[in-house]
Amino acid sequence: MPTEASAKAPSLPPRWFIRLFWTLQRGLSSVTRGRLGLRTATANRWGMMRLHTVGRRSGEERVAILGYFEDGPDLVTMAMNGWADPEPAWWLNLQAQPDVTVDLPGGSRAVHARAAEKDERPRLWAMQATYDKDLDAYAAMRSRETAVVILSPRPE
């Protein structure tokens, strides 16, 4: 019987494949003007949103398509960069300028981003784990803690 320590780590596709998939996903969303590539979160399936940030060095708009789930009025996502070790650029951009917009199937929403605090992180991490049974194993592949990012509605 395998123990937790001897359990095989989940495998990931090669990094080039992950990056190619992201490029194709953004392209499909762009070509269809957002009609494809987004979906609403449900109780048993995470949603897909388009996040618009401003590059912290370039000042140019950047777009990332991310998985999310809902926690009341908030949208919650993980700053995981395909489980690669570096922080995702979109998360670094959010830390520099946290007031951004997201596109959801029902339209755009103005949000304010922040990292979950120590007391709320375990609950939100457990909620994400209901969508991804290997969440802890993937997170263990990184040398740093994966930030839980909360996107709260803000007035326009």
In a domain, 29, yes or no: no
Residue 109 pLDDT greater than 90, yes or no: yes
Mean pLDDT of 88-116: 95
Question: Residue 143 sits in which domain range?
Answer: 34-153
Is residue 15 within 8 A of residue 84, CB to CB? The reply is: yes
Q: Which of 30-34, 39-43, 75-79 has the lowest mean pLDDT?
A: 30-34
**84 contacts 139 by C-beta, under 8 angstroms:** no
For residues 14 and 151, which has the higher predicted lDDT (pLDDT)?
151
* Structure tokens given for 152: 């709260």
142 located within any domain: yes
Query: Contact, 48 vs 68, CB < 8 A?
Result: yes
User: Does any domain span residue 24?
Assistant: no
Gyration radius of the chain over CA positions? 16
**pLDDT tens for each residue of 54-74:** 999 999 999 898 999 999 999
Q: State how far the Cα of 23 lies from the Cα of 50, in Å rounded to an integer.
A: 13
Write down the pLDDT at residue 148: 96
Number of domains the chain is built from: 1
Give the separation between CA 139 and CA 146, rounded to whole angstroms: 7
Decide if pLDDT at 43 tops 90: no
- Mean pLDDT across the chain, nearest whole number? 84
CATH number at residue 73: 2.30.110.10
Does any domain span residue 8? no
pLDDT of residue 1 exceeding 60: no
pLDDT at 30 over 90: no
Averaged pLDDT for residues 45-58: 93
Grouping H, G, I as helix, E, B as strand and the rest as coil, residue 96 is: helix
Average pLDDT over residues 15-44: 72
If pLDDT is split at 50, 70 and 90, which confidence band does 85 have?
Answer: confident
The residues, any chain, with a CB within 8 Å of residue 81's CB and separated by 6 or more, are: 87, 88, 91
The model's pTM is: 0.79
How far out from the chain centre does Cα 107 lie? Answer: 18
Q: Would you state the pLDDT for residue 29?
A: 67
Could you tell me if residue 71 is inside a domain? Answer: yes
